[in-house]
Structure 1
C-alpha cells in the first residue's frame, strides 16, 4: 500500500495545482457566473482518463505510472466535489435550468470524452 501512495500523492498535488491554476485563469477571463472552468476540466480530465486507462489495459504502462496518472494526477485534476457544489450554488440562486444543463453537459460530455479517447486509442493502436 505505501509503495503506491507516493505516486498518488505526487500526482494528486500536481493535478490539484493544475486545476487551481486553470480555475484562476478562467476566473480572470470570464464574466459569467457559470462554472465553465470546472466543466472544461471535467471533460478534458475524463478524456485523458480514457487515454490512460486504455494504455494501461494494453499492458503498456506500469502500475506505478497508472497510480500516478489516473489516481493521482487526474484524480486531483477532475474534482466532481466542485461540480456538486457549483450545481447547488446555481440551484440555490434560482438558476435551476442552468443547474440542470450543467449536470447534463458535465456528465454526458465526460462520458462521451472518455469513450472517444478509449475508441481513439483502440483504433490507432489495435
Structure 2
C-alpha cells in the first residue's frame, strides 16, 4: 500500500508537517548563470572587437581567431594557477572570468567555421595547417602559462 502524501504523514508522537517546497534546479544557480552570461558578453565583445581591428582576408589564414584563441588559452592558464594556488576568490569569480569572459573570448566554434570555409574555398592544406597549429599553439600556451606562473609565484614565496 502506498501513502498518498508521504511528506504529510505523521505519527501520534509527531504532528503532520506541511508540504515542503520543491527545490528548483535554479536555486542557488541564478547568480552563477548571470555571471557566466555577463562575462560571456564581455568576452564575446572583446573577440568581436579584435576581428574588427584585425580583419582577415577571405580565404586567408585566420590569424585573428588563431591569436585570440592562443592568448585566451594563455590567460586561462595564468588564471587557473592564481585562482587555485594563490587567491581564495569569491565563488562567482571563476564562472564570471573563467567560463564567461574567457569562454566568450576564445572561439573554438569560429575555429571550426574557419576550417570549413578554408575547405569549401579549396584550401585544404591551409585548413589542416590551421587545425593543427591552433590545437598545438593553444595547448602549448596553457602549459607555458601554467609553468611560468607557478615558477614566478614560487620565486616570490622564497
TM-score under structure 2 length normalisation: 0.74
Q: Tell me what 1:42 maps to.
A: 69
**1:14 partnered with 2:20:** no
Q: Tell me what 2:54 maps to.
A: 26
Q: Take 1:68 and 1:115, find their aligned partners in 2: how far apart are those partners?
A: 22
Q: 140, 147, 157: which one pairs with 1:119?
A: 147
Q: Take 1:73 and 1:15, find their aligned partners in 2: how far apart are those partners?
A: 4
The 4+ residue runs of structure 1 with deviation greater than 6 A are none
C-alpha RMSD of matched pairs (Å): 1.3
Q: Tell me what 2:84 maps to.
A: 57
Q: Is the 8 A contact 1:56 1:62 kept in 2?
A: no
Q: Take 1:99 and 1:31, find their aligned partners in 2: how far apart are those partners?
A: 14
**1:85 partnered with 2:101:** no
TM-score under structure 1 length normalisation: 0.92
- State the Cα distance separating 1:59 from its structure 2 match: 4.9
* Structure 2 residues without counterparts, runs of 5 or longer: 1-28
Number of matched pairs: 124
Q: Tell me what 2:133 maps to.
A: 105
Structure richer in helix, relative to its length: 1
- State the Cα distance separating 1:3 from its structure 2 match: 2.0
Q: Take 1:47 and 1:113, find their aligned partners in 2: how far apart are those partners?
A: 5
Larger relative contact order (CA 8 Å, sep ≥ 6):
1
* Structure 1 residues without counterparts, runs of 5 or longer: none
Quick check: which has more Rg, 1 or 2?
2
Q: Take 1:51 and 1:59, find their aligned partners in 2: how far apart are those partners?
A: 11
